[in-house]
Structure 1
Amino acid sequence: MTIAIEVDNARLVYAAAGSPYPQAPTLVLVHGFPLSRAMWQAQLEGLSPRCRVVAPDLRGYGESSFGDWPAAGETPSLDRYADDLEALIASLQADGPVVLVGFSMGGYIALNMARRCPDAFDALVLMDTRAAADDDTARATRLKMADHIHEWGAARVAELMRPKLFAMDTPERIVQETVAVISATDPAAIAASQLAMAARPDSTGLLGSIAKPTLVVVGEHDAISPSAEMRGIAAAIPGARFVEVPGVGHMAPVEAPEAVNAALAEFAESL
């Protein structure tokens, strides 16, 4: 089922499935950059018999509109995405626990919410993401893409990102599906997200104060969010669980959906 809500002059679209019983956990799946809710299809299908599953398109991505954001002269911030998700979660009126699942850029947004609106959710999953801010080189790369994306087009971004997204043995069909999603992304969304990520604060110091039940998931061969770094994130969050998905890269939910679904279901049902 696809649902649309209005938030601050924007139309936000999300897919929803499941809710087998009133107190079922609600998983809110936040996609990465520069993707869409399409990356969560295997989770929508696989987890819906056990949980309520909600997968939004972030503002400007997929079927969601920009509204009037960013305004002229405004530097985009992850706060915008966080505010949208807080409003979306409130609209769900969930009876059971709400589990915020942030993948890659979605993890940056989830950490933003842990800082700014922790009461919006009950448990946290950080997947193939980072707590540290960009270094100077990474920040410069983001700003360069934001400056040139309308000239390059999204298809070039897909080819630039492709080598770091997948493990060597990932089937080409899976790779091409993700490349197609990235290639269809609005260049304006790519620019806004790159500027927002470049400006994000370091969240390393936040980790020790996270009081929510937390699961940290990473692909064994993730070249963007290395396993050792994510193991350190789990160690810094009191009581956090850590799961390494063997044989896959950064796109763990797409590359190994059964393993990721099992980890998410076990975590959600333990709440």
Structure 2
Amino acid sequence: MPPETGLVIYTETRVNGQIAIRSWLRFESIECPCEASIWVDIHSLEKPDELPERHFCEATLDSQGEVSGIDFYSSSGTTHFRFGNGQFRVNLPGGVGRRGDFCAEVISVGSVVPVFAWTLSKVGFQDGVCDMTLFNCDRLVEQAYRVERQADASYKDTFGQTLIFDDAGCLVGISKQDVVTRLQWSTALSVPAWGKRQVLEARADSPDQSHYACEPVVFDTHAAHIAGDVLLPTGGWDSVKAVSLFIGGTGAYDRYGICGSMDLGYHEMHQRLADAGVAVLRIDLPGNGESRYVQDKVEPDFREQLAFYEGALESMDGRLASTGPVHVIGHSMGGVMALELAARCRIVASVILINAPGRPVDALMRDQAVRKLDALGVSETQRREELEKQDAFFYHVQHTKDWSEATVPADVLPLKSESLWFRQLMAVDPGALLSRLEKPALVIVGQQDEQVFDEDARLLAAALGRPERFVRIRDLAHHFKAIRSRSVTETDKACLDEVTGAVLTFMDSLNGLQREDGSFQ
């Protein structure tokens, strides 16, 4: 569609002068009802030469300016939001020039330092104050937002940002310390050529299952209908030498490790295992593939997700009686679930941890935050503020039962939907679990891991107490693929081969250690 048929608002956010975000927000009409689209490029501040992570969003606005539905497509995942009335309003009727009309967009770069890119057409003030209620799409909560005129005639908002207006009263920039966002809006601005189709097609090639046999797995828990399969060698069950259950890291994806255009590369490892005669049990997490929650769900639940994998094992109980115990493979936070399953499920023979944490999640995430902030080169003030906010979040996760405006700070309250997940995870110490585990374990760590660090490797190695079962892989990063929206590179393939080789060697080593009851030493 020609750009002159609608309003386009372009924003550019820079951190220490380096581009972090570029976005184009376009309304097909300046009167409602209308369709809106957003293009977003998020650039890596640590690796500026990498291709940006791309997001494309489509929204429908009714005659009152209410967003009735949003489809969000991303090169790192796909999410569908459905908003009810009154949660998010874009006031366009009457044209761009009316004071009081505004639209807003909230973007978070990374999980540590949020960078807000606001796009507002004329903002109306009363007695130097403009109050709004925005809906934060990331946290799924409403959020109060205020812009207030200062004594020096500047304008500051709820987040301590300085808003810059031109002579006509239009917002043209936002700044806070080292972060500066500039914007322009016009009916003559163009938008990127890429959109939904291009973003989805940026995904890596779909996994080729044609050379393998797959046996469906379907079961129900109290919370969800779960579907998955067992990836088998070419010869089917008759050629199976061992059985494994694969548990991926934090996130929502299908049995292949794919969500939208994000491909974690899990299926690459599954196929390597099947080629060696190892059957791989894997499931679609709800909202992906063929799995779904029984009711709409916003709050993630670690224990509930653990039950999905336990249910997968129980659904295979008859088949596993003839093939022997299961080796559970856990990647990243999936390693924590693998340790929990091994401790409670008799049929689990061993645990294989790949780039798993060695300490509780709050300690790990503080380390991640410190490293991220240091890499961004933020000011000492911003560094302190971000760490204090994270500390406050984990404090209230652990000590506050009922989250409300009266009990939790305003900048922490929007994270309420994640509190249950983190409360459950904080109670788990992976290193302690491993040290108490009375089953064989293999620990694999990538020396290029950017999310789990040397301290975690040290703790796991000490808990394991078996140097021959602790493997370091020089070129392995946290994920199995360097660029999760692209096909595997030669380095990725080499790392996958090393990981799979270590897993197979470990499984083979257990053959002579099987006890009469079927367990292993």
Do they superpose with TM above 0.5? yes
Aligned-residue RMSD, C-alpha: 3.3
Of residues 32, 45, 50, the one that matches 2:249 is: 32
Distance in 1 (CA, whole Å) between partners of 2:296 and 2:445 is 32
Deviation (angstroms), 1:84: 1.8
2:291 is equivalent to residue 100 of structure 1: no
Deviation (angstroms), 1:108: 1.9
Of residues 439, 447, 451, the one that matches 1:224 is: 451
Deviation (angstroms), 1:113: 1.7
Pair 44,136 (structure 1): closer, same or farther in 2 beyond 3 Å: closer
Where in structure 2 are the equivalents of 1:1-271 lying within 5 Å? Answer: 1=214, 3-8=216-221, 9-18=224-233, 21=238, 24-34=241-251, 35-38=253-256, 39-60=265-286, 62-68=288-294, 76-92=300-316, 93-94=319-320, 95-117=323-345, 119-135=346-362, 138=365, 195-197=420-422, 199-200=424-425, 201-203=427-429, 204-239=431-466, 241-252=469-480, 255=492, 256-271=495-510
**Alignment check: 8 A CA contact 1:27 1:53 kept:** yes
**Alignment check: 8 A CA contact 1:25 1:269 kept:** no
Deviation (angstroms), 1:27: 1.5
**Alignment check: 8 A CA contact 2:254 2:285 kept:** no
Distance in 2 (CA, whole Å) between partners of 1:3 and 1:137 is 36
Matched AA of 2:248 = H
Distance in 2 (CA, whole Å) between partners of 1:137 and 1:257 is 25
The structure with the greater share of residues assigned to strand is 2
Which secondary structure does the structure 2 equivalent of 1:14 belong to? strand
Deviations, residues 89-134 of structure 1 (Å, cap 9, x unaligned):
23332223310000012112112223443x1410100111113222
**Alignment check: 8 A CA contact 2:447 2:477 kept:** yes
State the structure with bigger RCO (CA 8 A, min sep 6), 1 or 2. Answer: 1
Pair 16,25 (structure 1): closer, same or farther in 2 beyond 3 Å: same
What does residue 163 of structure 1 align with? none
Deviations, residues 156-186 of structure 1 (Å, cap 9, x unaligned):
xxxxxxxxxxxxxxxxxxxxxxxxxxxxxxx
Deviation (angstroms), 1:244: 0.9
Deviation (angstroms), 1:192: 7.8
Return 58-67 or 191-200, whichever deviates more.
191-200
Distance in 2 (CA, whole Å) between partners of 1:128 and 1:101 is 11
Which secondary structure does the structure 2 equivalent of 1:37 belong to? coil
What TM-score, normalized to structure 1? 0.69
Instruction: Kindly report structure 1 stretches of 4+ aligned residues shifted beyond 4 Å.
Output: 19-23, 69-72, 191-195
**Alignment check: 8 A CA contact 1:2 1:16 kept:** yes
**Alignment check: 8 A CA contact 2:329 2:353 kept:** yes
**Alignment check: 8 A CA contact 1:128 1:217 kept:** yes
**Alignment check: 8 A CA contact 1:215 1:234 kept:** no
Distance in 2 (CA, whole Å) between partners of 1:228 and 1:60 is 33
Which secondary structure does the structure 2 equivalent of 1:29 belong to? strand
**Alignment check: 8 A CA contact 1:219 1:227 kept:** no
**Alignment check: 8 A CA contact 1:79 1:112 kept:** no
The structure with the greater share of residues assigned to helix is 1
Q: Matched residues, percent identical?
A: 22
Deviations, residues 230-267 of structure 1 (Å, cap 9, x unaligned):
24203212547111111121014773211111111111
Which secondary structure does the structure 1 equivalent of 2:358 belong to? coil
Pair 48,22 (structure 1): closer, same or farther in 2 beyond 3 Å: closer
Deviations, residues 3-22 of structure 1 (Å, cap 9, x unaligned):
23122141222351226647
The structure number with the bigger radius of gyration is 2
**Alignment check: 8 A CA contact 1:211 1:238 kept:** no
What does residue 61 of structure 2 align with? none
**Alignment check: 8 A CA contact 1:24 1:96 kept:** no
Distance in 1 (CA, whole Å) between partners of 2:363 and 2:465 is 30
Deviation (angstroms), 1:227: 4.0
Deviation (angstroms), 1:54: 1.9
Which secondary structure does the structure 2 equivalent of 1:122 belong to? strand
Aligned residues: 222
Pair 49,29 (structure 1): closer, same or farther in 2 beyond 3 Å: same
Matched AA of 1:266 = T
Matched AA of 1:225 = V
Deviations, residues 210-236 of structure 1 (Å, cap 9, x unaligned):
111100011111121124522420321
Distance in 1 (CA, whole Å) between partners of 2:237 and 2:219 is 26
Pair 14,230 (structure 1): closer, same or farther in 2 beyond 3 Å: farther
**Alignment check: 8 A CA contact 1:32 1:104 kept:** yes
Distance in 1 (CA, whole Å) between partners of 2:363 and 2:460 is 21
- Name structure 2 gaps, 5 residues minimum: 1-213, 257-264, 367-388, 395-415, 482-487, 511-521
